[in-house]
Structure 1
Amino acid sequence: MLKDELQSVREKFFTNAPSHVTDNVTRATNELIESGFATGLKKGDKAPDFTLKNAAGKSITLSKVLEDGPVILNFYRGGWCPYCNLELRAYEAMLEDIKAAGAQLIAISPQTPDQSLTTVEKNNLSYEVVSDPSQEVIAAYNLLFEMPEYLVETYKHDFNLNLADYNSKQHSWRLPVAGTVVISQSGTIIMSSANVDYMYRAEPEEVLRNLKNHSKV
């Protein structure tokens, strides 16, 4: 299961990373939880419509995709995030089951289209992966937050990672909380999960179960 793979990566991080790094990551997560920000939309809310470019540069409009059935939206941080890559591959592994349930999957990140294409190729993804460089859609789904300066420095100096290489230069250090939203064909949210601690994600099997249960109602 995805949670077991995520737990393995998490344990390695906390075992091997310097204490000041793990302390900063934990501090930032706790501060975000306490802030009450980026908690996602709720079940029963109307899903905000959007048009974003996919990895091939084609415009994808949510309302148009919904004409063919329900949609699962997966908001991920970026292809540089090992937890995100595990999650993206987990959804790819069950894509046929999602299609069999009459649904489609769209993954959204603040990465530029070129970086989204790299993510698609690296993970061999066959579903839509779209870019939200302005982060307006991420914000509309109440998942957007800004990294604190001390964590930015940790990413730059300890992880050797500069998000300006992946996201728009204007909003490099703003990210989505890892979130998953299931949207009915009518555009209503039937499941919403927002994991402020990025090391944990909604289990794809549970997401699919919610989708199937709704279709039976």
Structure 2
Amino acid sequence: MNTLKYLCLTLLLCSLNAVAAPISLPTELPELSATKPSKLGTHEVGVGVANGSKIKNFTIKSHQGRLTSFNDLIKQGDIMVVFYRGGWCPYCNMQIRQLTEAWPEFKRRGITPVLISADKPDASMMAQKTYDIPFPVLSDPKLTAHKAFNVVFKLPDELVKTYQDYGIVLKDWSGKKHNKFAVASAFIVDKNGVVKWGHSSNDYKTRPSVEQLIKAIDQLKAR
């Protein structure tokens, strides 16, 4: 199944499940390339917070619409905040599946992935229902967390219609009018709210692999 066919089927299923009923997506997902070692742990120019930065508390909603504070998340231990573009992005769905399958490895290391997108709660719930994700999936259509980590991407006006032609109406996914979503990013944050490691890339088809993320975690713990 090629990417376009997968995307169209995903959007069709989502439109038929507007109230976040369980859905079954195709097992074939597009190929997601691992980040080159030389680029790992780097940020795009003007994107992402630096290592050593302390994230101020913010409150956003879970996929169930419940208020969740950043401080409550880190009280439970180190976390890995993963910003994804949205449930409409097949590459994000591939990453979510990989992270879900690797949950035992993260849990063994005492670190909890936290997924955040600009999707409204019912759209975020689609990801949760599809993969039975055992860690938090948070909804941030107001971009509060996105701004805290400096990962906001505004879709250029000339591409808004192009996305719509593919059936991706960002305002429907977020419930807002901003046509913004996250630069694909990952941050390892300790229980004090300090960023220990981060990565972002405008190339949404290339992201740190599970193996690369686990290696980064292990290297931090070995210091």
TM-score normalised by L of structure 1: 0.79
- Structure 2, unaligned stretches of length 5 or more? 1-29, 34-43
* Mapping of residues 91-102 of structure 1, within 5 Å: 91-102=99-110
Residue 111 of structure 2 corresponds to which residue in structure 1? 103
Q: How far apart, CA to CA, are the structure 2 residues paired with 1:156 and 1:95?
A: 34
Shift of 1:72: 0.3
- Between the two proteins, what is the percent identity of the paired residues? 28
Deviations 1:35-92 (A, max 9, x none): x44x211111112322221112222222222122100000001111000000011110
Amino acid in structure 2 at the alignment position of 1:199 = K
* Mapping of residues 163-202 of structure 1, within 5 Å: 163-171=170-178, 173-202=179-208
CA RMSD of aligned residues (A): 1.6
Q: How far apart, CA to CA, are the structure 2 residues paired with 1:179 and 1:71?
A: 14
Alpha-carbon contact 2:140-2:146 (below 8 Å) kept: yes
Count the aligned residue pairs: 184
- Structure 1, unaligned stretches of length 5 or more? 8-32
Alpha-carbon contact 2:141-2:176 (below 8 Å) kept: no
* Mapping of residues 1-217 of structure 1, within 5 Å: 5-7=31-33, 36-37=45-46, 39-157=47-165, 159-171=166-178, 173-217=179-223
In structure 2, the CA distance between the partners of 1:47 and 1:204, relative to structure 1 (3 Å rule), is farther
- Give every structure 1 segment of 4 or more consecutive aligned residues whose post-TM-superposition deviation is greater than 3 Å: none
Alpha-carbon contact 1:85-1:123 (below 8 Å) kept: no
Residue 29 of structure 1 corresponds to which residue in structure 2? none
Shift of 1:5: 2.6
Q: How far apart, CA to CA, are the structure 2 residues paired with 1:151 and 1:170?
A: 15
Q: How far apart, CA to CA, are the structure 2 residues paired with 1:136 and 1:170?
A: 15
TM-score normalised by L of structure 2: 0.77
Q: Secondary structure at the match of 1:187?
A: coil
Name the structure where helix makes up a greater proportion of residues: 1
Amino acid in structure 1 at the alignment position of 2:79 = V
Shift of 1:120: 1.1
